[in-house]
Amino acid sequence: MSEHAAVVAGIPVDTRHWIAGERVASTSTFPDVSPIDGQVIAEVARGGAAEAAAAIEAARVAFPGWAATDRAERARILHAIADGVDKRLDELALVETTDNGALLRSHRNGVMPRVAHNFRFFADWLLGLGHEDFETRGHRNHVSWDPAGVCVLITPWNAPLMLATWKVAPALAAGNTVVLKPAEWSPLTASLLADIAAEAGLPSGVLNVVQGYGAEAGAALVADPAVSRISFTGSVPTARRIAAAAAANLTPLSLELGGKSPLLVFEDADLDLAVDLAVEQYDNAGQVCLAGTRLLVHDGVAAEFTERFLARASGLVQGDPRAPGTDVGPNIHRDHLARVDGFVRRAADQGAATLLGGGPNTDLGGLYYRPTLLTGMPPGSEILTEEVFGPVLTLQTFGTEEEAVALANGTRYGLAAVVATGSPERAERVSAALVAGTVWVNCFFVRDLRAPFGGARQSGVGREGGDWSFDFYCDLKNTVTAPWEK
């Protein structure tokens, strides 16, 4: 076994970068800590400006060949990558659970199958991508999607491989070359993806993986003038820094950022369903950008809803995410746990009442934060307006539909919303009035790659999915041809 391989859950993972089809070490490393027990599971190559430049150059050199590869061959290789993911699905699930602390059963049953689906979907979509020719005064208009060039993709730690491949798959399908920088708190499955892609026959330099900190590797990647596209999922402050760097080169950006999504429960809602939806917001220890963390409940059903919710949420099992019976695992990192707890403590200082949880789970120690529900917050308070990204929900009540919509839209975010109601007419009215990229009515987290995904306001710029992904990762061209003389 290589000295650069870590053994994680019994699985060897190379901790070096993947650049131009080769493993590349750095002069220094950074520790990767498992949130399950706080133990260092790998020493990972710490990239910086040199590694960023090498990866971008490798992608630049590989671009003409990959861009010229016909669609059918690109699609075939993407399907082969998906097959490789399926073959190593259990290994990927075990490594990712150890690395980021999300539930193992979720990784096995939902997340990793979705990784393979990402590649298959965009491979198949590529083969059908097109626009009918149309005429203008006898002239033929032909629309084409041309590969843009080198794409820098910077991905988050809460669903590392799934969210990475949601960017990697369409970028590669479109004929671009990629430099992927995974989050430093959960980098390991990106390294395994590089192995899988190479085994599937992806040419050298088409996919490169650079590990490291955002201020070092990430900053160098987004500032490089050779980059044609930047896609980032993460926080608003980081997005501002990336946008400022990209502005110097006018590099197009796609940004999927934070959320402070509402979950509205009307008086005509099925309360059992509404409670199920609300409790589901604790998924992944609340580390979900889409989570409906602000529970907005009609006055007439608030008492009953709260009683049922507390009964259900109190029964959630918190513990080791590898155990089959666990419902809520740890938060990702000690710094993040402190951030979550800081929000809750400040809310309590501002008058919030704690109905559930309210602090770390001292029985488990480490990075486990109890599922928490707060109420009685002053309007406009921090806990109601800023993204916590932990297992912390707030409860507010409303009297009218108009008041509910005003509360729902009362933040600088607009990523998602959940509406629980028994009225199709109300569902249509409220959904139309909400500022959100996705609205779920009587459901949550139903996702289809054919649909546009993204946020309004400070929840993001642009959309991903279906044609929207290809519109971003390509240069759209319209060729207008005059009538040919016979």
Reported as a pLDDT band with limits 50, 70 and 90, residue 3 is confident
- d(C-alpha 322, C-alpha 313), whole Å: 20
- d(C-alpha 86, C-alpha 325), whole Å: 25
Task: Classify each residue of 81-106 as buried b or exposed e, where b means 16 or more C-beta atoms within 10 Å of its C-beta.
Answer: bbbbbeebbebbbbbbbbbbbbbbbb
Q: What is the mean pLDDT of residues 326-345?
A: 97
pLDDT (0 to 100) of residue 279: 98
pLDDT, tens only, 73-101: 999 999 999 999 999 999 999 999 999 99
CATH number at residue 374: 3.40.309.10
- Do 222 and 326 share a structural domain? no
- Do 287 and 214 share a structural domain? no
Q: What is residue 254's three-state secondary structure? A: strand
What's CA 102's distance to the chain center, in Å? 14
- Do 276 and 206 share a structural domain? no
In-domain check, residue 143: yes
Q: Measuring CA to CA, how many Å separate 269 from each of 129, 364, 409?
A: 41, 36, 20
Reported as a pLDDT band with limits 50, 70 and 90, residue 194 is very high
Query: What residues pair up with 42 in beta bridges, in sequence order?
Result: 32
- Do 140 and 97 share a structural domain? yes
- d(C-alpha 114, C-alpha 121), whole Å: 10
- d(C-alpha 319, C-alpha 302), whole Å: 30
In this structure, what DSSP letter does residue 202 have?
P
Residue with tokens 């009362």: 410
In-domain check, residue 418: yes
- Do 183 and 297 share a structural domain? no
pLDDT, tens only, 12-56: 999 999 999 999 999 999 999 999 999 999 999 999 999 999 999
Query: What residues pair up with 413 in beta bridges, in sequence order?
Result: 457
Q: Measuring CA to CA, how many Å separate 361 from each of 12, 319, 355?
A: 32, 10, 15
pLDDT, tens only, 255-291: 999 999 999 999 999 999 999 999 999 999 999 999 9
Task: Classify each residue of 323-345 as buried b or exposed e, where b means 16 or more C-beta atoms within 10 Å of its C-beta.
Answer: eeebbbbbbbbeebbeebbebbe
The residue among 91, 105, 110, 108 whose CA lies nearest residue 188 is: 91
Q: What is the mean pLDDT of residues 332-337?
A: 96
In-domain check, residue 361: yes
Q: Is the dihedral of CA 273, 446, 367, 325 positive or negative?
A: positive
- Do 161 and 36 share a structural domain? yes
- Do 232 and 272 share a structural domain? no
pLDDT (0 to 100) of residue 220: 98
- Do 431 and 318 share a structural domain? yes
Domain count along the chain: 2
CB 179 within 8 A of CB 210: yes
Residues written for the chain: 486
Give the mean pLDDT of the chain.
97
- d(C-alpha 291, C-alpha 334), whole Å: 21
* Residues labelled as active-site residues: 256, 289
Q: What is residue 196's three-state secondary structure? A: helix
Domain with 341, as residue range(s), is 262-441
pLDDT (0 to 100) of residue 1: 54
Reported as a pLDDT band with limits 50, 70 and 90, residue 486 is confident
Residue 2 has pLDDT above 80, yes or no: no
In-domain check, residue 430: yes
In-domain check, residue 486: no
Q: What is residue 330's three-state secondary structure? A: coil
Kindly report the number of other CB atoms within 10 A of residue 160's CB atom: 26
- Do 117 and 231 share a structural domain? yes
pLDDT, tens only, 419-452: 999 999 999 999 999 999 999 999 999 999 999 9
pLDDT (0 to 100) of residue 136: 97
pLDDT, tens only, 214-258: 999 999 999 999 999 999 999 999 999 999 999 999 999 999 999
- Do 98 and 179 share a structural domain? yes
Our CA dihedral for 345, 419, 107, 364, rounded to 10 degrees, sits at 30
pLDDT, tens only, 97-123: 999 999 999 999 999 999 999 999 999
- d(C-alpha 360, C-alpha 476), whole Å: 50
- Do 288 and 223 share a structural domain? no
Reported as a pLDDT band with limits 50, 70 and 90, residue 199 is very high
Q: What is the mean pLDDT of residues 59-71?
A: 98
Which residues, at least 6 apart from 73, have a Cβ–Cβ distance to it below 8 Å?
A: none
Percent of the chain at pLDDT exceeding 90: 98
Paired tokens of 61:
């050199």
Paired tokens of 229:
């596209």
In-domain check, residue 224: yes
- Do 133 and 105 share a structural domain? yes
In this structure, what DSSP letter does residue 163 have?
H
